[in-house]
Amino acid sequence: MARLYSRFTHAVGPNDVCDSLRLHSGPLSARRGATPPRRNSLSYANRHRDPSLAEALFLRRVEHRKSPDPAFAGGSAG
């Protein structure tokens, strides 16, 4: 949920996400008892997460974006 929230709100970083979700903890708890993430949890996850998944996802998104517009990301326009 934190990733989705950060995507929609254009959050600057994990601390921004944690702080703003904490401000909205009331509505969060109404949703299946959800709680905002803690700063330390996100920091720990980012330190120990395998970056290859994020890299593969990023490269896939770039390739998808290139298909309708070859000039995107330095490709030739044709």
In a domain, 47, yes or no: yes
69 Cβ contact partners less than 8 Å away, ≥ 6 residues apart: none
- Residues 7-29 pLDDT 10s: 777 777 777 888 888 887 887 77
Average pLDDT on 21-44 reads 77
pLDDT computed for residue 73 by the predictor: 61
In a domain, 10, yes or no: yes
Q: How many CB atoms lie within 10 A of CB 60?
A: 10
- Looking at residue 13, the DSSP 8-state letter turns out to be S
The number of domains in the chain is 1
Measured distance CA(6)–CA(1) in Å, rounded:
9
In a domain, 76, yes or no: no
In a domain, 61, yes or no: yes
In a domain, 63, yes or no: yes
In a domain, 77, yes or no: no
In a domain, 75, yes or no: no
Average pLDDT on 36-43 reads 75
In a domain, 57, yes or no: yes
Would the pLDDT of 62 be above 60?
A: yes
Measured distance CA(58)–CA(64) in Å, rounded:
10
Measured distance CA(38)–CA(64) in Å, rounded:
33
Expressed as residue numbers, the domain containing 60 is: 2-70
Would the pLDDT of 68 be above 80?
A: no
- Looking at residue 78, the DSSP 8-state letter turns out to be -
